[in-house]
Amino acid sequence: MPDYPSFTLSTIGIIHSCYKEKFGIPRQPGLVTESTARLELIPPYNRLDTLEGLSNFSHIWVQFIFHACLTEKWKAKVRPPRLGGKEKLGVFSTRATHRPNPIGLSVIKIGRIYQEDKKVFIDLYGADLLDGTPVLDIKPYLPYADSIPNSKGGFAPTPTQTKNVLFSAEAKSQCEHYENLHNREITTLIKQIIEQDPRPSYLSEQIDREHGITLWDVNIKWCARNDHLEILRIEYK
Ligand code: SAM
Residue 1 placed within a domain = no
Q: Which residues is 166 bridged to in the sheet?
A: 230
68 and 129 belong to one structural domain: yes
Ligand 1 atom 26, closest CA? 66
Residue 32 placed within a domain = yes
Distances (CA, A) of 222 to 105, 171, 180, 217: 29, 10, 22, 16
Residue 199 placed within a domain = yes
Distance 32 CA to ligand 1 centre (A): 14
45 and 108 belong to one structural domain: yes
Closest ligand 1 atom to Cα of 95: 4
Rounded CA separation 64/102 (Å)? 8
116 and 187 belong to one structural domain: no
Task: Please answer whether residues 34 and 188 qualify as being in contact, where contact means their C-beta atoms are separated by less than 8 angstroms.
Answer: yes
Closest ligand 1 atom to Cα of 29: 1
82 and 190 belong to one structural domain: no
- What is the pTM (predicted TM-score) of this model? 0.96
Residue 68 placed within a domain = yes
Burial 136-148 (b: 16+ CB within 10 A, else e): bebeebeeeeeee
pLDDT tens for 165-181 read 999 999 999 999 999 99
Nearest residue to 30 via CA among 110, 102, 139, 133: 110
Across 70-215, the runs of DSSP E, i.e. the strands, are: 77-78, 89-90, 103-116, 119-125, 134-140, 165-167, 211-215
Residue 158 placed within a domain = no
Residues of the domain holding 180: 165-236
138 and 170 belong to one structural domain: no
Distance 27 CA to ligand 1 centre (A): 7
Longest Cα–Cα distance of the chain, Å, equals 65
- Report the CATH number that the domain containing residue 204 is assigned in CATH: 3.30.2310
pLDDT tens for 6-59 read 999 999 999 999 999 999 999 999 999 999 999 999 999 999 999 999 999 999
Distance 128 CA to ligand 1 centre (A): 6
Residue partners of 9: CB distance under 8 A and separation at least 6? 136
Rounded CA separation 60/79 (Å)? 28
Residue 155 placed within a domain = no
125 and 177 belong to one structural domain: no
Rounded CA separation 12/137 (Å)? 7
- Report the CATH number that the domain containing residue 103 is assigned in CATH: 2.40.30.70
Mutational test site, ligand 1, from 128, 141, 197, max ligand atoms within 8 Å of CB:
128
pLDDT tens for 54-79 read 999 999 999 999 999 999 999 999 99
- Name the domain count of the chain: 2
Q: Is residue 159 reached through a cis peptide bond, with omega within 30 degrees of 0 on the bond before it?
A: no
Ligand 1 atom 24, closest CA? 66
200 and 170 belong to one structural domain: yes
